Chain A
Amino acid sequence: MSILDQRRLIESIHPFELLNASVLDDLMQKIDIAYYPKDTLLISRTIASVAFYIIIKGSVVEILDDEITNVYSEGDSFDANALIYNKSESKFIVQEDLICYEIKKPDFLLLMQDKRVQSYFLQDFVTRHKQLKEYDAKSDFSPFLMAKIQDMFLHKACIVDGNISIFDAVSLQEEMGAKVILVEDDAKYFVVSDTNLKKDVLLGDVHVRDKISKIAKNEVISIDVNDFLFNALLLMTKYEIKRVVVMDDAKVVGILEQLDLLSFFANHSHIVAVRIDKANSVDELKDVTQSLNNLITTLRAKGVKFRYIAKLVATLNEKIYLKLFNMTLDEELQKQCCLIVMGSEGREEQTLKTDQDNALIIKDGLDKDMFVNPMMLLNQYLLELGFPKCEGDVMVSNEFWRKSAKEYKTQISTWANSMQESELQNLSIFLDAKCVAGDESLLKEVNEYLYSHFHSRDDILAHMAVAVLNFETPLTLFSSFVIQKEHDNKLNLKKGGLFALVHGVRTLSLEYEIDTSNTVDRIKELNNKGVFDKNFATELLESFDTMSGMRIRANEIDPNELSKVQKDLLKDSFKVVNKFKKFLSFHFHLNMVS
């Protein structure tokens, strides 16, 4: 019935699903559908809001100070604040012919009596964002639980007729490399395990020439090939068995072993780490990096947070760097230099193998030529291990990135006096440096010089910071209308938000001499120094986590393919990015930088 269809729609919109049935029933009696043509001004400073709108079709833009701050489309609702506070600083204008549900103001305020609904609408960004994330996680089954039996490796089943001898059956089992024997009897299957053989044949009085059916007493416990993996786990736990027979209709298709099941769930990271430590050659490392890739894939599938995956990858990659460093350089030379990684690797924020960005700092007064061949070899090994070549040639194989500490200082002076984009880009890369092998004090020494040199250099800092304004935050992309018209349906996460956030935080860290390269740590430090207040810092952290988490899947995403909640999360994140851009513009006086 129609009332039900409409009810379902309302229910699918957070937080309305929280309402109990009778409140919702009551609400349905109060909702009208309204139509507003394009360009209708719905709410503004002088036009008070009279209703809460839920969009069925069409889109609405929210404009504050001539800037689009939000776009509402199908399934979105607005604007609780205008109703609660009885005023609005923003204008709400219909962008695409609007058909929407209207909950009249008194009815909406009545709804707000429900504490949960109220808290959703009254919450600040951070709490609301967290609530949305929780809702997203809940509404989405963990991939771990969603995995099916058919996704697993199944062992071959050795099926024999009950009339053949135990000897023949075991011979066949050996030949097939099967773990157990299944005895078929009138469309039923019975299992003969090693334990049966031991008890009945070796220790019992059954002869190997006797029929196999004599010792096949236990009917198999089976599971359908389309069933979920966790059901297999439940079966094994319930019956205390090590394997289940997998059936497709009435046919046996294989055996699922407990070991395979557990290893699917287990985290192999420590094993990978041990293998890197034990590797003696590049070839051995190659095998390990392959399993590292598998590990990342599994962790991603299990829905592990971006932050943790990135940390893990950074730790393991660091081990690889150290290993190669030890392989290519003489022990004596190892103490005379410092191998650093930069860019996303330096920030510990990479999950997929991104271009290598590395460099070498050599102690002053040493013959740099001694390092040429080892570094060429190191670079060669990295390429062999699948670390992609850096397009900008930011690698130890390039003489520019193989300098003495003194030369780096000279370079820093050059950077500090240059307003050129390419120079500033190199500086940005260097700012994310992290030592992975060798003498760490060399990097410290150079960094100290760096900070002292940029101290109170507002001019150059502003020139660096202005890059955050290079790309516009793609809030408008959320209106399907705009996407189809002007874009390739895609939204670039790095250009759209991550770059501005990472780069802005990086520049502020240089100004405040914050000696860490990780964006999350930097934000926390900036908060400690009072640059951001607690609330803004948390907003930035949440947005960073949301955008990075989505980027694990792909850098370019189609907003239409995101769920409603994910769309809201991303929209909120972009709003924070816009706020951050405004903060930076004000902080660095960016309007004065051309």
Chain B
Amino acid sequence: MFFHFFKKKQIGFDEVVVFDTETTGLNPKKDDILSIGAVKIKNNKIITSQTFELFVKYEKEINHESIKIHKIRPVDLVDAIDIDKAIELFLDFIGDLPLVGYYLEFDVAMINKYVKPKLGYKLKNKQIEVSEIYYDREIKFIPQGNIDLRFDTILKKCEVPNMGAHNAVNDAIMTAMIYLKLIK
């Protein structure tokens, strides 16, 4: 029904999941997941009408430094669910779709931390790192250059609007927009 003139290289997936996690810190061994946000991309559309957003119950006290970044306070976790349940719902949502993310390795490691002991294997989904696609694109223009891979820089370079608040879903949506811009 639409004409789409996608001239640029098409990465061959009709559907992918973009996700992001908010955690208590940056060490997958020690730190825990506070929330998971994810959206699906079907062709050229980000299906925000079916957004995945979960807050995870957290027993310990949340580090005050990390609260400043993810803005999840203990009171925000009142409606939260157990991590086991959260992981189960998340696996249902993603199925075997390829995963897209920014610094995806970390988020996948966080998820695997819970998946591995439970199911005995790690996530098998294909993983697509947006900063890598971005790097490949930029390096063509400045072969010897240092490519700035910070999230906000990529956002700006791709002319994707900054949605302001950093939370798992917002970050996933912004990442999804970057992904679409980069591959279409």
Q: Do A and B bind each other?
A: yes
| A interface residues with partner B (beta carbon < 8 Å) | 1-3, 5-6, 29-37, 39-42, 47-48, 50, 56-57, 97, 99, 102
Is A2 within 8 A of B51, CB to CB?
A: yes
Does B66 touch A at the CB level, under 8 Å?
no
Bound form: Cα–Cα A41–B177 in Å:
20
As a 0/1 sequence over residues 168 to 183 of chain B, the CB contacts with chain A under 8 angstroms (1 = contact) are 0110010011001100
As a 0/1 sequence over residues 40 to 60 of chain B, the CB contacts with chain A under 8 angstroms (1 = contact) are 000011111101010000000
Query: Which B residues, 1 to 51, have Cβ-Cβ distances below 8 Å to chain A?
Result: 1-8, 37, 44-49, 51
Which of A2, A47, A56 meets B53, CB within 8 Å? A2
Is B45 within 8 A of A39, CB to CB?
A: no
Is A33 within 8 A of B46, CB to CB?
A: yes
Does B167 touch A at the CB level, under 8 Å?
yes
Contacts A34-B46, A39-B5, A42-B2 given: A97-B163 contact, CB under 8 Å?
Answer: no
Which of A31, A36, A39 meets B48, CB within 8 Å? A31
Does B137 touch A at the CB level, under 8 Å?
no
Is A97 within 8 A of B49, CB to CB?
A: no
Is A99 within 8 A of B161, CB to CB?
A: yes
Is A33 within 8 A of B159, CB to CB?
A: no
B5: chain A residues at CB < 8 Å are 37, 39-40
Is B1 within 8 A of A35, CB to CB?
A: no
What are the 8 closest A-B residue pairs judged by CB atoms, nearest first? Answer: A2-B169, A35-B180, A33-B46, A2-B170, A34-B45, A32-B45, A35-B44, A57-B161
Count B-side interface residues using an 8 Å CB cutoff.
32
Is B173 within 8 A of A2, CB to CB?
A: yes
Bound form: Cα–Cα A5–B173 in Å:
12
A57: chain B residues at CB < 8 Å are 159-161
| B interface residues with partner A (beta carbon < 8 Å) | 1-8, 37, 44-49, 51, 53, 159-161, 163-165, 167, 169-170, 173, 176-177, 180-181, 184
Cβ-closest chain B residue relative to A35: B180
Contacts A5-B163, A32-B47 given: A47-B180 contact, CB under 8 Å?
Answer: no
Which of A29, A36, A99 meets B49, CB within 8 Å? A29
Instruction: Output the least CB separation between B50 and chain A (Å).
Output: 8
Most chain-B CB neighbours within 10 Å: which of A1, A2, A56? A2
Bound form: Cα–Cα A33–B42 in Å:
10
Is A47 within 8 A of B45, CB to CB?
A: no
Is B180 within 8 A of A5, CB to CB?
A: no
Most chain-A CB neighbours within 10 Å: which of B46, B49, B160? B49
A5: chain B residues at CB < 8 Å are 163-165, 170
A97: chain B residues at CB < 8 Å are 159, 181
Contacts A2-B37, A56-B161, A99-B161 given: A35-B169 contact, CB under 8 Å?
Answer: no
B181: chain A residues at CB < 8 Å are 35, 97, 99
Cβ-closest chain B residue relative to A96: B159
Cβ-closest chain B residue relative to A6: B48
Instruction: Output the least CB separation between B90 and chain A (Å).
Output: 17
Contacts A31-B48, A32-B48, A37-B184 given: A47-B177 contact, CB under 8 Å?
Answer: no
Bound form: Cα–Cα A2–B44 in Å:
20
Is B4 within 8 A of A1, CB to CB?
A: no
B184: chain A residues at CB < 8 Å are 35, 37
Q: List 15 A–B pairs whose Cβ atoms lie within 8 Å, in order of A's numbering.
A: A2-B37, A2-B51, A2-B167, A5-B165, A32-B47, A32-B48, A33-B45, A35-B45, A35-B181, A35-B184, A36-B4, A40-B3, A40-B5, A41-B3, A56-B161
Is A33 within 8 A of B177, CB to CB?
A: yes
A56: chain B residues at CB < 8 Å are 161
Is B46 within 8 A of A47, CB to CB?
A: no
Contacts A42-B2, A97-B181 given: A33-B160 contact, CB under 8 Å?
Answer: no
Is A33 within 8 A of B173, CB to CB?
A: yes
Is B161 within 8 A of A30, CB to CB?
A: no
Instruction: Output the least CB separation between B175 and chain A (Å).
Output: 12
Instruction: Output the least CB separation between B46 and chain A (Å).
Output: 4
Is A50 within 8 A of B1, CB to CB?
A: yes
User: Known pairs A2-B37, A99-B160, A99-B180. 14 more at Cβ < 8 A?
Assistant: A3-B51, A3-B53, A6-B48, A32-B47, A33-B48, A33-B176, A33-B177, A34-B44, A35-B45, A36-B44, A37-B5, A42-B2, A57-B160, A99-B177
Instruction: Output the least CB separation between B80 and chain A (Å).
Output: 14
B177: chain A residues at CB < 8 Å are 33, 35, 99
Is A2 within 8 A of B49, CB to CB?
A: no
B46: chain A residues at CB < 8 Å are 32-35
Is B6 within 8 A of A37, CB to CB?
A: yes
Is B169 within 8 A of A102, CB to CB?
A: no
Instruction: Output the least CB separation between A144 and chain B (Å).
Output: 34
Contacts A32-B45, A35-B44, A47-B2 given: A1-B161 contact, CB under 8 Å?
Answer: no
Bound form: Cα–Cα A57–B160 in Å:
7
